[in-house]
Structure 1
Amino acid sequence: MKTLPVLLITLFTYFASSSQSVVKELSESDFSIGKSITIESKILGEERILNIYLPSSYSTDSLKTYSLIYLLDGSRDEDFIHISGIVQFASFPWINTLPESIVVGIANIDRMRDFTYPSGNKLDQTEFPESGASEKFIGFLEKEVLPFVENRFRTNDERTFIGQSLGGLLGTEILLKAPHMFDNYILVSPSLWWDDENLLKAEIGNFDSCKKIYIAVGKEGDVMERTAKGLYEKLLTEKSNNTNLYFNFLEDKTHGDALHEAVYKAFEAFAQKTTSTSD
């Protein structure tokens, strides 16, 4: 009577071992989506990491040039990988909302220091004593990062900026004071509460160089929602005829998860022909 159980166990062991041997590992290699480059910044007095996403055609088409997307909070463990994925997806031929582009993720060291201008608010000064060095960081972007990237890689003349939260605050500062630095701006949940919202009172520079500006905010409370819409309305009254302006309220998103959807919606909006929209 013990023969049948023993036979079943023997057959099970045989088939289990046979199925495990079906797959034969042939090779293993690292998987990479681009490059990580460390540069020395004389302006900041420190080394900084740039993470670079290169489209698949970059290595096969030596004559092709690419638009550039500059991403703040661009560390590997921040927004670089998922934003690069959106860029890849949006540039697939069957999606075709974005030309193949290079993503430049600028890794952080101290975002509170780098993304804020000096605040006149005493509480800001007390809670964030390291803040207020955005002028230096903007100089680092304009005089060091942009020339380095555009000399190193095959690029065309189009630059897009992506910044969220404090990165959106910095992007707003650049947009208002030096809009020529980028052609397109994607500003998500910008922290315009900084310095008692005084950046919203700043004069607007010459917008003739700006092609597209997209502003988005999630369900993030009165201040964040009001100031983001306030920025849109300010730009709407001052924008040039060459500038397309978009606003999106993402009511099912929060400050923590608005960026991913906002960036994809920005690419969709940029592919359209309308000059200004508010949703």
Structure 2
Amino acid sequence: MQKLLLLIFFMALGSPVWAGEVERSPLSIGEALRFSSKILNEDRTLNIYLPPGYRKDQSKRYPVIYLLDGSMEEDFIHIAGLVQFGSFSWINMLPESILVGVGNVDRKRDFTFTSKVLRDKKEFPSSGGSGKFIASLMKEMQPLVERNYRVSGQTTLIGQSLGGLLATEILVKHTNLFDHYIIVSPSLWWDGESLLELIPAGCCAAKSIYVGVGKEGAVMERLARELHDKLDPDNKTETVHFGYFKQLDHGDTLHLAVYDAFGKIFSNQAPQE
């Protein structure tokens, strides 16, 4: 009688009652490649998202998107969601792609070149290691991905904030390392804005480039616009794009900017069959 009364009570509340045994299991959205970097002299992790059909068709090859700040607790999960969503057949924003999240160890070291500004050195005491990081990206990380996955050869780089600074440095100094560049809220104030001075007008018109920024203050917004204008001085290049998100700030521009970039950069690419 007591159980019956309890059942009636819970049903009256509209609450679920005994549902029987529940089985729990780990939920995975990808896999991790861990390797020892000889260039950086430390262990590194690459987080990998594979398209749903990757295991089914062993002959199919995929573009690769490299994401800086790609640790699990950083941007990997939500950018993986955008890659999955954008490649749905009913969305058809970008081809099915492999996402490689480059996990961080010391981003202030890895994403910055040596600065001559005393304030930069004081606030970022470990800075100045971008040269070694780029070398590891070229000689260790990309070859590791190419050996372990079926890649098509087309590559994209995503970087935000200090990652945007690094993506810009790679664009300027190693232009052909990637086919597409998505640069969001780049910290181009580093070293007294010296990187902007290295960019010849229209230097990278052969690449697909997206520059995005939110309402992030006069300096950040000016630098992002100057980067775009240097890359496309006449505002006529169809492969260089700019996005301004006045409703967002430095902390939340990345997600919508990447979504917008996917639509613009891959708009002319037919989906992979």
So what's the TM-score if we normalise by structure 1? 0.88
| CA offset digits 1:109-157 (Å, max 9, x no partner) | 1000000000111111222221011000000101110111011100101
| CA offset digits 1:21-71 (Å, max 9, x no partner) | 3x3446432211110121111100000011000111011111111110000
| More deviation, 64-73/198-207 | 198-207
| Partner secondary structure for residue 216 of structure 1 | strand
List alignment gaps of at least 5 residues for structure 2.
269-273
Residue 175 of structure 1 pairs with residue 171 of structure 2: yes
Residue 237 (structure 1) shift: 3.0
Q: Which residue of 2 aligns with 1:228?
A: 224
Q: Which residue of 2 aligns with 1:202?
A: 198
| Partner secondary structure for residue 37 of structure 1 | strand
Question: For the residues of structure 2 that align with 1:207 and 1:139, how far apart are their CA atoms?
Answer: 21
Q: Which residue of 2 aligns with 1:277?
A: none
Partner residue of 1:256 out of 243, 251, 260: 251
Q: Which residue of 1 aligns with 2:6?
A: 13
| CA offset digits 1:182-216 (Å, max 9, x no partner) | 00000000000001111000044963762x10000
**Alignment check: 8 A CA contact 2:37 2:140 kept:** yes
**Alignment check: 8 A CA contact 1:98 1:271 kept:** yes
Task: Give the letter for the 2:204 counterpart.
Answer: F
Q: Which residue of 1 aligns with 2:271?
A: none
Q: Which residue of 2 aligns with 1:94?
A: 90
- Given the superposition, is the C-alpha separation of residues 61 and 239 from structure 1 closer, same or farther in structure 2, using an over 3 Å criterion? farther
Q: Which residue of 1 aligns with 2:184?
A: 188
Task: Give the letter for the 1:82 counterpart.
Answer: H
**Alignment check: 8 A CA contact 1:180 1:209 kept:** no
| More deviation, 173-182/198-207 | 198-207
Residue 272 (structure 1) shift: 3.1
Residue 111 of structure 1 pairs with residue 107 of structure 2: yes
Q: Which residue of 2 aligns with 1:134?
A: 130
**Alignment check: 8 A CA contact 1:179 1:209 kept:** no
| More deviation, 198-207/168-177 | 198-207
Partner residue of 1:77 out of 73, 90, 97: 73
**Alignment check: 8 A CA contact 2:185 2:250 kept:** yes
Question: For the residues of structure 1 that align with 2:168 and 2:176, how far apart are their CA atoms?
Answer: 13
Question: For the residues of structure 2 that align with 1:174 and 1:10, how far apart are their CA atoms?
Answer: 68
Question: For the residues of structure 1 that align with 2:86 and 2:3, how far apart are their CA atoms?
Answer: 53
Question: For the residues of structure 2 that align with 1:271 and 1:155, how far apart are their CA atoms?
Answer: 17
**Alignment check: 8 A CA contact 2:206 2:239 kept:** no
Residue 54 of structure 1 pairs with residue 50 of structure 2: yes
Aligned residues: 263
Partner residue of 1:43 out of 39, 46, 56: 39
**Alignment check: 8 A CA contact 1:208 1:240 kept:** no
List alignment gaps of at least 5 residues for structure 1.
1-6, 274-279
| Partner secondary structure for residue 129 of structure 1 | coil
Question: For the residues of structure 2 that align with 1:14 and 1:199, how far apart are their CA atoms?
Answer: 70
Partner residue of 2:63 out of 63, 67, 75: 67
Question: For the residues of structure 2 that align with 1:222 and 1:214, how far apart are their CA atoms?
Answer: 20
Task: Give the letter for the 2:17 counterpart.
Answer: Q
Partner residue of 2:117 out of 105, 121, 144: 121
Residue 10 (structure 1) shift: 6.0
Residue 159 of structure 1 pairs with residue 155 of structure 2: yes
- Given the superposition, is the C-alpha separation of residues 16 and 102 from structure 1 closer, same or farther in structure 2, using an over 3 Å criterion? farther
Q: Which has the higher contact order (CA 8 A, sep 6+)?
A: 2
- Given the superposition, is the C-alpha separation of residues 146 and 240 from structure 1 closer, same or farther in structure 2, using an over 3 Å criterion? farther
Identity %: 51
So what's the TM-score if we normalise by structure 2? 0.90
**Alignment check: 8 A CA contact 1:169 1:192 kept:** yes
Kindly indicate which of the two structures has a greater share of residues assigned to helix: 1
Residue 34 of structure 1 pairs with residue 36 of structure 2: no
